[in-house]
Amino acid sequence: MEKRNQVYSLEELMEQMGKKKLCFDYPIQRESGQWDKQQKALLIDTVLNGYFIPDIYIMKEGTEDFSPMSVLDGKQRLTTLYEFSKDGFVLPQDMDDVIITDISFDDEKNPVKEERAYSVCGKKFSSLDPEVQKVFNKFRVSVSLLAGFSDEQIEDQFYRLNNGCTFTKSQKANVLLGTELAGKIKELEQCDFFVNRAVFGNLQRKRGEVTNCILQSMMLISGFEYKSFSPNETLRFAEQLNENHDYELIDRTKDLFDELLCVLPPYDKELDKNCLKKIHIPILIKNLDTVRKMNITVTNDEYEAFLLDWFTAGMVCSNYIDFCGHGSTAKVKVEGRIQAMEESLNDFLENLHRGCE
């Protein structure tokens, strides 16, 4: 293992980010965009006024400076600084002026201090005075370069660095999954179902709710003895999955999400908004898994017809909605939703086959 400290200017770091030399997709990392406008502005103010920022931790894949590297800690800071340097956002109107102090010497070699104030309110980077841009570009950042670490050591280091951070339980699940499994779950998050149909807001995606939804779906189809759908139970499942890698379960889950996309009724904004939310998706996956295990063959067209009926009437006409309100993560509520959908499916198939006789 190797750990080396290096200091870089922001100009150097921004240049390497522009060249894609720094990667921010390490599986156990949180998604980008976690910070709000106030947090971003405070970071820029910190830089322009010469305060310190915490070290950046980077994993090196080679021996040369800026060989391909993955950022382990400091993702939000670096991506915010890069966004600002590319005019990605403007500073708020209530920002304090930046004071730049110049030191010169008079004829008798006595130091003479001159202070100049520069307004940064409401400005993008390109609108800042050249002197202020120079302060930004020359700001020094301490970087800890890590090399020769195993995945387990990297995961442990990441946990220790972020032990005081306000990670959501869903984001912590990625750490408990470990690098390899977290990577596979992230691949699942990029499947067409989650990209094109599932209804998750930007904040939900940032908070790791897609990961949580996938893990809950896996809990249901794997036979995991869950006590509830609470975040702590999802963490327990993630930890168990890391201890006993089940690649077959991951592949099976991926196949079910791909299949669900194929049998969904045609896109309808209102139907999707109401029926493809996080609370319903694991139940849909469990139902589809049950269908594929039935002794009778249910065609894609037949199941699509059932889902259309379920989305437009079944969810409301059955007692399914009764299990979606307060306390919906309780096991009895989860099991109630599963049972209500399965009963509706059985009634639909019975009526369908009766009509064909």
Residue 234 lies in a domain: yes
Residue 147 lies in a domain: yes
Residue 32 lies in a domain: yes
Q: Residue 32 has what pLDDT?
A: 64
Whether the CB-CB separation of 84 and 40 falls below 8 Å is answered with yes
Same domain, 33 and 59: yes
Whether the CB-CB separation of 90 and 29 falls below 8 Å is answered with no
Same domain, 241 and 211: yes
Domain containing residue 334: 174-356
Whether the CB-CB separation of 177 and 241 falls below 8 Å is answered with yes
Q: Would you write out the chain's pLDDT as a tens digit for each of its 357 residues? A: 677 889 999 999 999 999 888 888 766 666 666 788 888 999 999 999 998 998 898 887 655 554 567 888 888 899 999 999 999 999 999 888 998 887 777 767 777 778 889 999 999 999 999 999 999 999 999 998 887 776 656 766 766 776 655 556 566 677 778 778 888 998 999 999 999 999 998 868 877 889 989 999 999 999 999 999 987 888 889 989 988 889 999 999 999 999 999 999 999 998 999 999 999 999 999 999 999 988 778 899 999 999 999 999 989 888 899 898 777 888 999 999 999 999 999 999 888 776 555
**Domain end point (choices 163, 188, 213):** 163
Same domain, 199 and 142: no
**Domain end point (choices 117, 140, 163):** 163
Q: Residue 180 has what pLDDT?
A: 84
**Domain end point (choices 104, 137, 163):** 163
Same domain, 216 and 295: yes
Same domain, 145 and 289: no
19, burial (CB in 10 Å: exposed 0-12, middle 13-18, buried 19+): exposed
Residue 282 lies in a domain: yes
Residue 168 lies in a domain: no
Same domain, 192 and 319: yes
- The three-state (H, E, C) secondary structure of 273-333, written as one string: HHHCCCCCHHHHHHHHHHHHCCCCCCCHHHHHHHHHHHHHHHHHHCCHHHHCCCCCCEHHH
Edge to edge, the sheet with strand 2-9 lists 2-9, 140-147, 56-60, 69-73, 22-23
Residue 325 lies in a domain: yes
Which token pair is 179?
């690098």
Torsion of CA 265, 271, 273, 278, to 10 degrees: -60
Whether the CB-CB separation of 181 and 243 falls below 8 Å is answered with no
DSSP three-state, residue 149: coil
Whether the CB-CB separation of 118 and 97 falls below 8 Å is answered with yes
Same domain, 186 and 304: yes
Q: Residue 165 has what pLDDT?
A: 54
Strands (E), the chain: 2-9, 22-23, 56-60, 69-73, 98-105, 111-118, 140-147
Same domain, 116 and 159: yes
Same domain, 157 and 221: no
Residue 169 lies in a domain: no
Same domain, 63 and 188: no
For 117, left (φ over 0), alpha (ψ -120 to 50), or beta?
beta
Write b or e for each residue in 113-147: b if 16 or more Cβ atoms lie within 10 A of its Cβ, otherwise e. eeeeebebeebebeebeeebbebbbebebebbbbb
Which of 294, 258, 296, 278 lies closest to 337, judged by CA?
A: 278
Same domain, 67 and 20: yes
Same domain, 239 and 99: no
Residue 332 lies in a domain: yes
Whether the CB-CB separation of 20 and 92 falls below 8 Å is answered with no
Number of folded domains in the chain?
A: 2
